[in-house]
Amino acid sequence: MYSIVSTAIIHGIQSVPISVEADVSDGLPVFEMVGFLASEVQEAKERVRTALKNCGFALPPKHITINFTPANIRKSGSGFDLPVAVAVLTAFGYIRQEMVREYFVAGEVGLNGKVQPVNGILPMVAEAKERGMKKCMVPWKNAGEAALVSDMQVFAVKNLADAVNILNGNGEYFDTPYNIEEMQTGRILDFADVSGQVLVKRACETAVSGMHNLLFVGPPGAGKTMIAERIPGILPSLNTKERMELSKIYSVCGLLEHKRGLMQERPFRAPHHTITPQGLAGGGAVPKPGEISLAHKGILFLDELTEFQRETLEILRQPMEEKKICIARLNASYEYPADFMLVAAMNPCKCGYYPDMQRCTCTSAALDRYLRKVSRPLLDRIDICVEVPQVRFRDLYNTGKSEKTEEIRARVVRTQEIQKMRYRGENFCFNSHIPSSRIFEYCKLDKKQEIYMEQMYDKLNLTARTYHKILRVARTLADMDESEQIKMSHLNEALCYRNIDKKFWEGMD
């Protein structure tokens, strides 16, 4: 007897439909599985056979053949256990085939027949819905995640007996016991807690308004980390498309919180400086998104930037430009989204006090070695570089006069709306994303400004990439002032955010 079950595999963060076919015939009692399978999928036949026996499903001694289609895609992961079990039970007549055709099925099965959760249920169920399927059978602990897909009846199973009952029409679909749009709000850190640092806060507002990458340079204890941790509070809310895309990434990694609905907050990822290149970029034997993808549509914060391995930092260069990363493997390549805003912080030297020569103990050679840990190509990809000075004593007692996070956020939202209106119809919506080929269309300068910027270009020894970033920042500053035209004051402020290059990295390759 023949049966077929619909399931899927995760490729990147996308779901690829897979069909599991089962055929039972007379002959030697053999359990065969074919279809370009990874070792963990091959092992499913032993798990499934033992689980069926332990759940009381007696299988006559028949020749069982399981085929996974399409055959040209390598199948990996443990989510095929439940589809294989359902296909076998259907082929032996325990389940009606006409019922099985209506369901998408995924899940891991233990030797005792209990169904275990798997990663990536959200994108798999979403793709099944796009194919016209209306019902899905998933592990109980994945049911809330599957229920995030609208107009899909979710049937949650705890064991193989539940699966058989449901597929024979004796089960009820999963009734979501919580609000799937439940807000995941945590405590928002307030900029009002930061004493002084008015210019640094201005740089933060500018960076978020245009989604520009940001670098803090300052001595220990100046508040670099404290300020960075408050930046998520001024980010606008995610829209519906962004919430779903971000939730799919976290689902693939198994990080989507149970009973918390779609992601509601923009991520703030702060990996330790000991992270490996693979941990940052993604990959592995079974490829998964890395930190740059987990920071998608949010902030990637690299504290103590110079403590990261240089090869790890260099991985950032391509994703910062292309907003995605491709991981190549022998049998396939995987693409993950990586549209993040980089916020980095570092000391100006090893001891932390350069250029205060009364306190700095670093030699010229030590300073040179320290700063070279951040390459010029990476520095060119950072739009705004700002010094964070030590807080003045009188600012410590100047409480109650700092702007609150919600005030800054309101201005950021207004500025971003201006950009979205300007770039409607384009494939980008922020000033930092303006392609180089369109830069002079959206960042127009008058003749006097062009002459001035030519002088600054030569004086500061700018690269073309850095010059374009200055223009993009100036465009953001103009939008913050609700000005259609970029003014000289906007250009000067944007140039100030590159003075740090000349101060610390001048003369380095």
pLDDT in tens, 325-345: 998 877 778 999 999 999 999
Cβ–Cβ < 8 Å for 173, 167 = no
Quick check: 178 pLDDT over 60? Answer: no
pLDDT of residue 389: 92
Distance CA 88, CA 169 (A): 18
Q: Take residue 50 and report the two structure tokens written for it.
A: 């033992």
What confidence tier does 196 reach under pLDDT thresholds 50, 70, 90?
Answer: confident
Q: Which residues of 70-107 are buried (b: 16+ CB within 10 A; e: fewer)?
A: eeebbbbbbbbbbbbbbbbbbbbebbebeebeebbbbb
pLDDT of residue 175: 64
Q: Take residue 322 and report the two structure tokens written for it.
A: 């292309």
By the 10 Å C-beta count (0-12 exposed, 13-18 middle, 19+ buried), 375 is classed as middle
Cβ–Cβ < 8 Å for 135, 165 = no
Distance CA 83, CA 87 (A): 6
What confidence tier does 508 reach under pLDDT thresholds 50, 70, 90?
Answer: low
DSSP symbol at 191? G
Q: Take residue 203 and report the two structure tokens written for it.
A: 């740089």
CATH topology for 2-167 is Ribosomal Protein S5; domain 2 (3.30.230)
Residue bearing the bigger pLDDT, 412 or 425: 412
Q: Which of 468, 58, 416 is nearest to 238 (CA)?
A: 416
Q: How many CA atoms lie within 13 A of 231 on its CB side?
A: 35
Beta bridge partners of 4: 21
Domain ranges for the chain, please list them.
2-167, 191-505
Distance CA 86, CA 22 (A): 9
Find the mean pLDDT for residues 289-293.
Answer: 97
What confidence tier does 186 reach under pLDDT thresholds 50, 70, 90?
Answer: low
Q: Which of 21, 29, 35 is nearest to 62 (CA)?
A: 29
Q: Which of 325, 300, 293, 286 is nearest to 41 (CA)?
A: 286
Q: Which of 469, 455, 244 is nearest to 377 (CA)?
A: 469
C-alpha radius of gyration, the chain, whole number: 28
Distance CA 433, CA 297 (A): 13
Query: Three-state SS for 165?
Result: helix
Distance CA 222, CA 252 (A): 38
Of the given ranges (8-17, 140-149, 257-266, 268-277), which has the lowest mean pLDDT?
257-266
pLDDT of residue 176: 60
pLDDT of residue 505: 78
Residue type, 228: A
End-to-end CA separation in angstroms for the chain: 70
Cβ–Cβ < 8 Å for 140, 43 = no
Q: What does pTM read for this prediction?
A: 0.91
What confidence tier does 238 reach under pLDDT thresholds 50, 70, 90?
Answer: very high
Find the mean pLDDT for residues 190-215.
Answer: 95
Of the given ranges (101-105, 259-263, 358-362, 483-487), which has the lowest mean pLDDT?
259-263
Look at strands 63-69 and 14-25 and give their pairing.
antiparallel
Would you state the CATH architecture of domain 191-505?
3-Layer(aba) Sandwich (3.40)
Q: How many CA atoms lie within 13 A of 297 on its CB side?
A: 21
